Chain A
Amino acid sequence: MQKGTIFLTLVAIGIAFLVWLLPERPEKTELSPKELLLAIKDETRFLSTDEVATMIIGQDPSLQLIDVREPDEYKKFHLPGAINIPLEKILDEQNLELVGAEEQQHVFYSNGTIRANQAWVLTRRLGYGNTYIMKGGLNRWVETIMIPPVPPSSAPSEAFDQYDFRLSACRYFQGGKATAPVKKQTPVKVVPRRKKKVTASGGC
């Protein structure tokens, strides 16, 4: 037998033993309780109803609203573009596949915050990172967007801007025409730039 053949055989068997004896890394997809606690403390997962309304009106293609209430509740009323995944079915394979789509922001909502938060914790624990919660749920949605409270006259101007936005959003969601919110523009100060004097430098 040729020397080369024997050498290759020994190398292959050596690698085979090595592969057998190497410790396997545990498949790390799920979050440990510690990591989950850190994630739960992080408030950035909450989106306000105003933010969600802005995204819906702007037809943000990355927005994926997920209604975690029961199907009959979903049938009665749901936000435009929302899909229905009842909380009990959130761990179904096809639903997880949907939530795992990286290119979209998945926003859970329910009537309040709790069920959406449960859905978020479950999926976050499984390692899905692109999930958010609409804070306050549909109750807050009705309180803020559908029947926006008039701010007191002493409120800061931002509150009135927000009220204007909510009024137009309300009209948008109820089928009327929205008047585009007028943005206040702060005047830009023009600073004249001095031209740099070009000094002749050598070379070509």
Chain B
Amino acid sequence: MGPLIPQGIIGTEWNFVIALILGMAFGFLLEAAGFSSSRKLVGLFYGYDFVVLRVFFTAGATAAAGIILFDYFGWIDVSMLYVQPTYWGAAIVGGVIMGLGFVTGGFCPGTSIAAASIGKLDALMLVFGLFVGAFIYGETYPLLKDFVNSGNQGGIKVYDSLGMSRGFFTFLLILVAVGMFYAVPLIEKRVKKPEY
């Protein structure tokens, strides 16, 4: 049955409408989870608050298990799902830039907009910086083009690279997630929590 748009069950013109609704829900839930606070977000780096790790591991494990179950029931055609291609060099450099920006600015792109929407000035500044960065990237793209587009690995998947089955990888992922949920409070207890 699914995915709904590539199968033609919902017209492609609905793409943006659905994206808007999902985006609003995403922003709302980010704010509700406390992700509009940069102290909470960078708590992951300093070890006093692991809510980011909890949320993203939950999301990953739920989505992975959900896709496998949906596939089993025949509700979704996994071969039609788009897998973002991997570019090693660009992904590593981009990851470093993103991580540096995250820990110095205190927000990632999505949460910066959630925080800007509740009126945080530092988040507004960060959103402005996002546009400046995008502008610089756009202007220097001809110079970066060769590097950005080099080493396309295609839509590779972790479990294929590790040589294990999809089910077993997801099994491990869920076990690791559950193990983390038990382990991180122990770290949180040891690190002094700043007030925020």
Contact = CB atoms under 8 A, between A and B. Distances in A.
Contact of A12 (B69, B165, B168, B177): B177
Contacts of A28: 79
Nearest to A15: B65
A22 B167 contact: yes
Contacts of A22: 68-69, 72, 167
Given A9-B178, A12-B61, A13-B178, A25 B171 contact: no
Nearest to B72: A22
B175 interface: yes
Contacts of A93: 154
Interface residues of B, number: 23
A93 B78 CA distance: 20
Given A19-B65, A20-B171, A29 B178 contact: no
Contacts of B177: 12
B78 A19 contact: no
Interface residues of A, number: 18
Contact of A25 (B72, B178, B182): B72
Contacts of A182: none
A180 interface: no
Interface string A19-39: 111111101110000000000
A13 B79 contact: no
A189 B78 CA distance: 55
Contacts of B166: 24
Contacts of B181: 9
Contact of B171 (A9, A16, A24, A29): A16
Nearest to B80: A29
Interface in B75-106: 78-79
Interface string A100-119: 00000000000000000000
A24 B154 CA distance: 22
B79 A16 contact: no
A7 interface: no
B57 to A, nearest CB: 11
Given A12-B177, A29-B79, A19 B171 contact: yes
Given A17-B171, A19-B69, A22-B69, A27 B78 contact: yes
A12 B79 CA distance: 26
B170 A27 contact: no
B116 interface: no
A28 B80 CA distance: 10
15 contacts: A9-B182, A12-B178, A13-B174, A15-B174, A16-B174, A17-B171, A19-B65, A19-B69, A22-B72, A23-B72, A24-B71, A24-B166, A24-B167, A25-B78, A29-B79
Query: What 6 A-B pairs come out closest when comparing CB atoms?
Result: A16-B174, A20-B171, A20-B167, A16-B171, A19-B170, A27-B79
